[in-house]
Structure 1
Amino acid sequence: MTDVPILGEPPESALPAEPGHEGKGEIHVVHLYPREMSIYGDLGNTRCLAARIRRHGYTPVVHQHHPGQPFPEQAHLVVGGGGQDSGQVRVEADLEVIADRLRDLVAADVPMLMICGMYQLFGNAFITVEGKRLPGLGILDVTTQGNEKRMIGPVVLQTEFGDVVGYENHSGSTTLGAGQAPFGTVRSGLGNNGEDGTEGARLRHVVGSYLHGPILPANPRLADALIGWAAEVATGRPFEAGTLDDAIADEARNRQVRRLVS
């Protein structure tokens, strides 16, 4: 377990809080398997969260959880990213060890953001092209079938957090269970499977999605929803948001929406 810095960089907790808004409390962020499952820029989600937590006036404490290590004692927000099939194989045994802890955190409404490979591992199973069934955690009621063809390209979603943009790059085709809510509906792109118009999955405060980018810097409303839920878990009080200038992120997102959605 490693508190900031991440991968040898300066600690995000060194970023200044908004003047007059320091000391609202610590928010502990746990990044699952940053070496094995963070190959498409998804580490940027953790950096974005740490920076925005600080700017909202809270103190971010970022932990890295690696296979074989004890899970952090405090966890108010959990994130995971995408990885190659070999990376998923390397973390499966450890996921089985920490599965009950993760399920308890979900039941306690701890927010989680699971992208691509970790989204699949949070589901019921991943079925390889050869037909081998690899069990998942079963937190999200989704099942993924491996395919020869990849789904690649920019995406625009309609979600409860407004338009969400990102970039998908996955060969797995994911199907939602009968009662499983999606993260969003596809306005442009392929989403879970290219057929039913859904993307990702949502349960309580858990969000699973295929969107890289990384997703959070381009979608501040989603980032702040996760931070708000985490702040309530961490402090037992309502989230006290600071005033952040998201004009550049909003313009970048709106341009992608205009480019892809007629």
Structure 2
Amino acid sequence: MSAVVRSLNIVHLYPELLNLYGDGGNIITLTKRLEWRGLGACVAEVAISDTPTFADADIVFIGGGSDREQAIVCEHLLERRAELSSFVEDGGVLLAVCGGYQLLGHSYAMGDDVLEGLGLVDMETRRGAPRLIGNVAVESPVSPQPVVGYENHGGRTTLGEGVEPLGRVVFGHGNDGESGKEGCLYRNVLGTYVHGPLLPKNPGVADWLLSRALDRRCGDGSLDPLDDAVELAANKVMVDRLLSGEEKE
């Protein structure tokens, strides 16, 4: 790995509003996995009273929140849409979970109310019933192990032509409870309904994000291996439990 880059800049958007089911643990995972490799992380927490900038960002994280909190956040982010879109199109790494994921698309229809989205990814979300709740497991190209976690959302997300899902649902509901798709992958954007938080349970996903951020920053996305025995054992326990039929959807 290049010795030039010793730290990545991580922008954590609105943690006071978007932090359901321990989503802040995703930031801890990213910073620790850099630290364990002798790399640093500069984390900028952006409050709703702040004006975010993405000029020097390597990774941007948007967590989950209620419909009300999503509307507040989206109003603020729409003012920075052009800069955030430029970051995405330039290969910037963006992780968005649940409510944050829904904001990536063109719109989120909540009955008669339609929340304008950021339009970063060709997708649409509408609110449906019942809520899709429970544990989830997803086979994904970004992780050697199934991605596991927890979902709780009323949104049904439909991906546009050419937008890849994060993966295929092997347990749980995913984007809409019907298509078998979960999340989205667009350039270096990863959107998902998986809480829990996502990254501590799925080190492969964390390293996918870090590798792409390092490649964009210094042209070398290689990562030294870590001892993930504990994390992988926990992942396996959950996957085995879900796929054995012990737990019902």
TM over 0.5: yes
**64, 81, 84: which is aligned to 1:82?**
64
Kindly indicate whether residue 46 of structure 2 is the aligned counterpart of residue 51 of structure 1: no
Q: Which residue of 2 aligns with 1:4?
A: none
- Residue 62 of structure 1 and its aligned partner are, at CA, apart by 0.3
Kindly indicate whether residue 108 of structure 2 is the aligned counterpart of residue 140 of structure 1: no
**2, 15, 25: which is aligned to 2:6?**
25
2:59 & 2:200 partners in 1: Cα distance? 16
- Superposed, 1:21-170 pairs within 5 Å as 24-72=5-53, 73-128=55-110, 130-160=111-141, 161-162=143-144, 163-170=146-153
Aligned residues: 240
Cα pair 1:22 1:57 within 8 Å, conserved: no
Q: Which runs of 5+ in 2 are unaligned?
A: 245-249
Cα pair 1:23 1:58 within 8 Å, conserved: no
- Residue 187 of structure 1 and its aligned partner are, at CA, apart by 0.4
Q: Which residue of 2 aligns with 1:3?
A: none
- Residue 192 of structure 1 and its aligned partner are, at CA, apart by 0.5
2:4 & 2:91 partners in 1: Cα distance? 23
Cα pair 1:56 1:240 within 8 Å, conserved: no
Q: Which runs of 5+ in 1 are unaligned?
A: 1-20
Alignment TM-score, normalising by the size of structure 1: 0.87
One-letter identity of the residue aligned with 1:214: P
Alignment TM-score, normalising by the size of structure 2: 0.92
Q: Which residue of 2 aligns with 1:17?
A: none
- Residue 57 of structure 1 and its aligned partner are, at CA, apart by 1.8
Partner-residue secondary structure (3-state), 1:105: helix
Partner-residue secondary structure (3-state), 2:83: helix
| 33-42 or 112-121: bigger deviation | 33-42
- Residue 240 of structure 1 and its aligned partner are, at CA, apart by 4.2
- Residue 25 of structure 1 and its aligned partner are, at CA, apart by 1.5
**175, 178, 190: which is aligned to 1:207?**
190
1:22 & 1:74 partners in 2: Cα distance? 19
Partner-residue secondary structure (3-state), 2:20: coil
2:235 & 2:172 partners in 1: Cα distance? 15
Q: Deviations over 1:54-93 (max 9, x none)?
A: 1122110001122242324420001111001111121122
**176, 180, 197: which is aligned to 1:197?**
180
Partner-residue secondary structure (3-state), 1:255: helix
* Percent identical residues: 38
Q: Which residue of 2 aligns with 1:176?
A: 159
2:229 & 2:203 partners in 1: Cα distance? 10
Q: Which residue of 1 aligns with 2:247?
A: none
1:218 & 1:23 partners in 2: Cα distance? 30
One-letter identity of the residue aligned with 2:131: R
Cα pair 1:24 1:57 within 8 Å, conserved: no
Cα pair 2:74 2:118 within 8 Å, conserved: no
2:42 & 2:52 partners in 1: Cα distance? 14
Give the alignment's Cα RMSD to 1 decimal: 1.6
1:205 & 1:228 partners in 2: Cα distance? 10
- Residue 141 of structure 1 and its aligned partner are, at CA, apart by 1.5
Q: Which residue of 2 aligns with 1:12?
A: none
2:162 & 2:49 partners in 1: Cα distance? 34
